[in-house]
Amino acid sequence: MLEAMGGHAEKIRVALYVQKAALHFIEAGHRIEYNLSEEVRQAGYEIEPDELASLARAHDMMGLESNGGAEGLAGKVRVSLDQGVKTSEVHLRQSIYGLNQYVEKPSETFWLFIWEALQDLTLIILMVCAAVSIGVGIATEGWPKGMYDGLGILLSIFLIVMVTATSDYKQSLQFKDLDKEKKNIIVQVTRDGFRQKISIYDLVVGDIVHLSIGDHVPADGVFISGHSLSIDESSLSGESEPVKINKQRPFLLSGTKVQDGSGKMLVTSVGMRTEWGRLMVTLSEGGEDETPLQVKLNGVATIIGKIGLAFAVMTFLVLMGRFLVQKALNGNITNWSFNDAVTILNYFAIAVTIIVVAVPEGLPLAVTLSLAFAMKKLMNSKALVRHLSACETMGSASCICTDKTESIFQNTGSEVVKGKDGKVSVLGTPTETAILEFGLHLGGESSHYKESEIVKIEPFNSVKKKMSVLVSLPSGGFRAFCKGASEIVLGLCDRFVKANGESVSLSAEQRKSITDVINGFACEALRTLCIAFKDIENISKDDDIPDSNYTLITVIGIKDPVRPGVKDAVRTCLAAGITVRMVTGDNINTAKAIAKECGILTDDGLAIEGPDFRNKSPQEMQQLIPKLQVMARSLPLDKHTLVSQLRNTFKEVVAVTGDGTNDAPALHEADIGLAMGIAGTEVAKENADVIIMDDNFSTIVNVARWGRSVYINIQKFVQFQLTVNIVALMINFVSACISGSAPLTAVQLLWVNMIMDTLGALALATEAPTDGLMKRPPVGRSANFITRTMWRNIIGQSIYQLAVLLVFTFRGKQLLKLTGSDAAKTLNTFIFNAFVFCQIFNEVNSRDMEKINVFQDMFSNWIFIIIVVSSVTFQAIMVELLCTFAGTVPLSWELWLLSVLIGALSLIISVLLKCIPVEPTKRSAIAKHPDGYEPLPSGPDQA
């Protein structure tokens, strides 16, 4: 996959360089003259779409200047740089300048899925067998009797292909919808004079877009204004150095990312006219990688397939051997007829069908179905899964490293703006919002903001733990403001403002008093900040904003109310064997108070500061991490180190939450990266596996619950399928060895294959998670997929089914008192019927591998009920109505009742099997978890 991504990026870079070189040559030779079309003129615009698009694409400074710069372009596309686009004009702009959407690869049609399903080699062989069988049958038995056997096989193949294609087609449509949702980025624009959030798909030429750290540039455009704006263009150019954007270098390209600073841009081209859109036409997107579970199950499927192939070959050889011996004993070894050819062909068809039954093509289907079902349900629960593998991996998560600010807290959520209703509101990050709202509440006027011009901004830095802004004063000179971590900003101050507004020197005693206030706030779970200022007479734009001799204005304590349900969610995690660790940049006292409030920090837990953690040796970390529950004042590198240690040293499956651009390395390093959908930057979302749309910790727990459900649903299906495989293979093989015939025909085996593969996968892979799933420890990295509990159920049920069916195979006529010419066919039909009902009832058994009550919540799963009812209905049709094709005869009600009773007995067998202990003793055999607690016991009571 990495190689594919590398090749993908390389193609983009080569295409970009070739295109830029061509544009420079054209520009050097002559400028293209664009004539204004009648359509554009009538719409009231003064510049052609292609001319507008070429400016940013070719970085054409001469063209931009000739059009009057950003202000001139705004006039030509009839937009005010202050008011933005009018909502009433959006449709007109889309019709002239295009939609902000890329041309997508057309969806695969249903017929293509049918064609793909028909490519299965075993099905092709069976189709050939069916065709030969029809030809030979008509020649020997005449029309239409001679074609029934072959036609029956063809009908079964048609059914399998249609069900498989329908299932795959529906999944492809669902994944397409999810993919579109993944790309639906929310951007901030000025429209109708108000700043508002819109979907990237609704962006039009002329929109004024607000950009900040971590945002994707949503379209091509030109710079209007901003501070310290630098763009990462590596996705296009391959250059790792960020590009500084300003009036001298004003062009921004779609597909790039904001690495630092903030700014506003005028959109000049959207969709297929952007640089990114033009390049995407030449490239086709790669498909989703196989998930770890799919890879593991492919290995299982290969082994089962090889075993099935061996049984098929042995069955064919035994049947052929007995057939040849019989001919030799009758003295007909040299006499061959069409009937002999039909017999050999039927033997071959049975052998091929055994391979069809043995090859568990339902395994990857079950994984895909279960993951798709989970993804759809999670989407409804405010969790957008970006990568399929995240669903199943989250089920094995043993540790969640969460930041405090978004996932645990309920933030309100910078700029003071007036809405359409005339009300003043604040847009921006939660911290700035809280401070501005507090200032307005105290009687502050937002109009003062416009009296000073911003000269320079140094954005918040996770290393410095502060941000600074330099403004020019109306009376002359400059003033620097600084806001950040309390102890950091306080350390920069040598004066403070008294209540009467007088600035006085800051003594050691007063510094200690202020520090006590900060610690007091922190111990009450308040997030503390200091705000300070410094007046400066002269400073150049190129100089750094000073870092000393500030005057302290205030200490602020922000109370973020803990989200409803977080405490319960943390308790659920602990009960499920998932350790929750808080990693935050806040003061240690604040972090500890909040962690205790949420139930994260326990009496024997450890809280540590980032600087102390990063100075520890690997040996010290190994002793410290199991007890570590809170890390305060941490840097992104500390979070990354903790995640690496947990994964590599302690072999934990780690989930990490994050919202900032600086969280991207830890999100990428973790087994599962969880980005915040509301507060998260686009860079964080891009590096995450799951986007938590409501920024709620409870949603993360729901993802873990569904992840566990996916894993256990696949286990249920594997248990069910292996039982069917063993019984189907053994009964035909043993019967062939002893009696020289197979009781289950090719058509019957194909029907069983559909029950256990496609329908079985659909029934068992779409079970909803139960509360019991979060009362057991997570599955470890090295745990065997097929557990001892599963083997107990598989072997027990197989022995029961084989014993009953083989007894009826060899003694059925006597036990059932069958006589007459149809006795053999009636017996084989009864065996087929009993075998199918054993699988239907075993499907019910497989709903829970440990609990005795397998009917719990069964009737609330309508998919399961529909599949069971459909299987029983079609089985009745096969036996009673499609006798000619299925090789069956109608059965009496007594034989029907006996078939159902034999199947139903597997429920009692299941109860008896679940009473057999298979797990090691709870205290001695289970190793302690790295975090010091023992995993919760599993078994019928707890599961």
Please identify which residue in the block is written with the tokens 């700043």.
195
Residue of 207, 260, 403, 586 marked active site: 403
> Could you give phi then psi for residue 614, rounded to 5 degrees?
-70, -15
Assign 711 to helix, strand or coil.
helix
Burial of 373 (0-12, 13-18, 19+ CB in 10 A): buried
Question: Phi/psi class of residue 794: alpha, beta or left (left: φ > 0; alpha: ψ in -120 to 50)?
Answer: alpha
H/E element, 460: strand 453-461
In Å, what is the CA distance from 523 to each residue of 316, 527, 531, 618? Answer: 78, 10, 20, 31
Token pair for residue 328? 């030799």
Burial class (CB in 10 A: 0-12, 13-18, 19+), 340: middle
DSSP letter at 80?
Answer: B
Active site includes 516? Answer: no
3-state helix, strand, coil in the chain (%, to 5): 55, 15, 30
- Which runs of consecutive H residues, i.e. helices, occur in 423-507? 430-441, 486-492
Residue found under tokens 């950003």: 70
693 C-beta neighbours (distance < 10 Å), count: 18
Q: How would you list the strands of the sheet with 503-505, edge to edge?
A: 453-461, 466-472, 478-485, 527-536, 550-558, 493-497, 503-505
Distance of alpha carbon 201 from alpha carbon 183, whole angstroms: 9
Q: What is the DSSP string of 620-652?
A: HHHHHGGGEEEEES--HHHHHHHHHHHHHTS--
Rounded to whole angstroms, how far apart are CA atoms 499 and 55? 55
Length of the chain: 943
Q: Which of 467, 406, 9, 386 is nearest to 213 (CA)?
A: 467
Whether residue 563 contacts residue 599, with contact meaning beta carbons closer than 8 Å, is answered with no
Please give the full DSSP string across 732-760, using - where no structure is assigned. Answer: HHHHHHHHSS-SS-HHHHHHHHHIIIIIH
Q: Are 136 and 342 in contact (CB under 8 A)?
A: yes
Please report which helix (H) or strand (E) contains residue 720, including its range.
helix 697-739
Q: Can you tell me whether residue 419 is helix, strand or coil?
A: coil
CA distance 151 to 886: 10
Question: Which residues does 51 contact at the CB level (< 8 Å), separation at least 6?
Answer: 32, 34, 63
d(CA 48, CA 128): 61
3-state SS track over 229-290: EEEECHHHHCCCCCEECCCCCCEECCCCEEEEEEEEEEEEECHHHCHHHHHHHCCCCCCCCC
**Cβ(619)–Cβ(596) under 8 Å?**
no
Q: What is the distance between the alpha carbons of residues 572 and 578, in angstroms, rounded to a whole number?
A: 9
Active site residues: 403
